[in-house]
Amino acid sequence: MSQQIAVLVVDNEPGFAGLASEMLEREHDAIAATPMTNAPEALEYLEVEEHTVDCIVSDYEMAELSGLELLERVRAEDPELPFILFTGRGSEAVASEAIDAGVTQYLQKQSGREQYTLLANQITNAVAQYRAETELRESERRYERTVTTLHETTRELMRAETKAEIYEAAVETAAEMRNVAAAAAYAFEPTDRVLEHVASASASASTGESRAVVDPAVDAPRSDDLIWEAFSEGIVGEYDEQAQAGGILRTELVNRSEVVVPLGSHGALVAGTTDSDGFAETTTEVVQILAANTEAALDRAEREQLLREHDRTLTEQNEELTRLNHINEIVREINHGVAQASTRNEVETTVCDRLADTDRYRFAWIASSDDPPEPTTWEGVDAAYMDRIREDGTQTPESKLVRQTLEAERPCVVRDVLETDAWDQRRAEALTYGFQRVLAVPITDGEREFGVLLVHIGGGEDIGDAEREVLAELGETIGHAIHSIERTRAMLTDSRLELELECRDSRLLFNRLTTRIEESLTVAGVIDRRDDEFVCFVSTPSSADIRPVAEEWAALETCSVVSNGEDETLFEITGSTTPLIDVLRTYDVTVRSVTAEGGVSTLVLDVPKQVEARTLIEAVTERYPETELEARRETTSTRSARQLDTYLEEKLTNKQHEALQAAFYSGFFEWPRESTGEDLAAALDVSSPTYHYHLRAAERKLVTLALDSYSN
């Protein structure tokens, strides 16, 4: 709807009236909303002739006059004006009272922006219907006046359903008029901007037989043409052979006069006569009335076509909304089951079971992110289908779809497997298992990819944007659940994987530092602050100084000396996050040690057991190509140490954990101390009292754990 919609928003809360008006204008460009704080003010606004209002949105409970009392006053002046009751008081009694009073729509106030989207849709739909009905009534009034003039001859015209029928009825009616020998209709084709012949008729004075009347050589070009001249100027054109040579209709039927009447933007109606005196004035008037009726009929047919398309669109939207509501209910059930799952297999099984248990989805399964992808969990289909996917390897259409989804990082759709060339080998399975469409959704937590969820769908409704978005959110929910489960298992497990990597890539920060200072360095510890910052404690020979480098490099924000020894110096470095730290954060990997010399770094990483080493190494080499795996070792921690890790994760806050790490890496607990609390407070960008508070709290919790364990 491109025409502006004037909306009056009435609410006794000024702030809400203004907010609602602003949100409605944001939701739909055509809406121009005016806020009012009470009903009398709104009635005064409506009494001003210059004020045009297409729709009223009113609260229910207001001072002086309620929303329904305002409706009664408005209906007394305009019984059809759209009136929407937008109230925070929601009950069946209020809804029933509003419907009985004749409101156009009833909507209860909710929280969130979605309520304004729904309200804007109700406004545009109500105004569209109101305008269409008003326009239809005007057309009917024109029709009644025309019927009075043309009687039964024009009733068929108004009953015609299509434009082709209207054109045919118009020329046949014109050909039956007094002293009209032939008639033709031309329709305007906006794409090519030409007038095309669409209908013609003639009547013999003796037999009444119809004959062809349009000269095939006349194609009504845009210039120097009688039809185009009348149509483009929007005026009635009358021509005779004495005034202008040539013509539009066949000369053997019409050799005296022709009249061209524009049909608005639709085209033109042409009538011709053989009468030597030309058209009588009354005949010309009747032709113009017929043309007016024809134009009205064409307007009506076009409008009804738009209304039919609009109704069809609304029906499709309602069907999609119903389907989406059902899908949302399914997703809520899945989320509840996923929240209670304690293993990755339970999560995947819950998802596949619930999706396959619906009428819309034939079956569902989850593929791993390996190459080739491996089916891990499925429901609604037998194992033979999964076995065939495994046997066919990387060339299966399912494998290609999984890779496409992982690369795109968004849902991908196969709209019809029976008509998609890449799925030719699955035609038999599609017919056997009854699926036609396939939707693939990446399972991710925003950083890591855990696989792809594939849903096979039968015929019927297409996969809409809303459905894809809902299932995409489900994929993220599954990813976060799997990540959470893996982190929990990592805290409880005793065994971990230790990887030793050698990196020669010049982009690695430690390599760049050793090249610049021309000395070796050792990383005592790295603190990931998870706010796009890191703190790193670096030990170098006493002859090296990193501080001048930090002042030049944008990657390093601060660099200060923590302690000076005879042989080495301990520096504290802060900076923005690096690609290496991003990878370690994504996979919950900790740095056990880093040594670097001459642009080559050896990194020893502590990797949780559930993380695939290959995936981690690929993630590192993707960012630092000159990286190689030197060693891979299985490590086993004592149960008490793992319990301590779990305790730290659960009991210590992030600030307390950072304070404890900084103190340990900087030699704060050594004697004599290699760093002070003031140094560490500056490193973490907090005040000294704040740092000591967090450190004391962490120490108190550790001592409590030790003493409780001893007393037990």
Residue-wise pLDDT for 149-166, tens only, equals: 466 666 676 677 788 888
Which residues, including other chains, have CB under 8 Å from residue 60's CB and lie 6 or more apart? 66, 67, 68, 85, 87, 88, 89, 94, 98
Q: Give the strands of the sheet with 375-379, arranged side by side.
A: 375-379, 361-367, 449-457, 437-444, 412-414
Report the largest interatomic distance among the alpha carbons of the chain, rounded to a whole angstrom: 128
pLDDT at position 609 is: 73
Quickly state the pLDDT bin for 10 (edges 50, 70, 90): very high
pLDDT at position 568 is: 86
- Rounded CA-CA distance 269/189 in Å is 15
Determine if residue 636 is left, alpha or beta; phi over 0 gives left, psi from -120 to 50 gives alpha, anything else beta.
beta
The answer to whether 386 and 407 have CB atoms below 8 angstroms apart is no
CATH class of 341-491: alpha beta
pTM for this structure?
Answer: 0.41
**β-bridge partners, 540:** 569
pLDDT at position 149 is: 46
**Domain boundary assignment for the chain:** 5-134, 160-305, 341-491, 495-635, 637-712
Is 341-491 in the same CATH topology as 160-305?
yes
Site of tokens 């007393």: 711
CATH topology for 160-305 is Beta-Lactamase (3.30.450)
pLDDT at position 243 is: 45
At 373, is the secondary structure helix, strand, or coil?
Answer: coil
Residue-wise pLDDT for 349-375, tens only, equals: 888 888 888 888 889 999 888 777 888
CATH topology for 5-134 is Rossmann fold (3.40.50)
**β-bridge partners, 176:** none
Nearest one of 276, 227, 269, 275 to 248, comparing CA atoms? 227
pLDDT above 70 (res 706): no
The answer to whether 186 and 220 have CB atoms below 8 angstroms apart is yes
pLDDT at position 431 is: 86
pLDDT above 80 (res 179): no
Residue-wise pLDDT for 440-474, tens only, equals: 999 988 778 888 999 998 877 778 788 888 888 88
**How far apart are the two ends of the chain, measured CA to CA in Å?**
76
CATH number of 637-712: 1.10.10
Average pLDDT of the residues of the chain: 80
Residue-wise pLDDT for 530-578, tens only, equals: 667 888 889 999 888 888 888 888 888 888 888 887 788 888 888 888 8
Residues 512, 517, 519, 522, Cα dihedral to 10°: -60
Buried b or exposed e, range 115-146, using 16+ CB within 10 angstroms? bbeebbebbbbbbbebeeeeeeeebeebbeeb
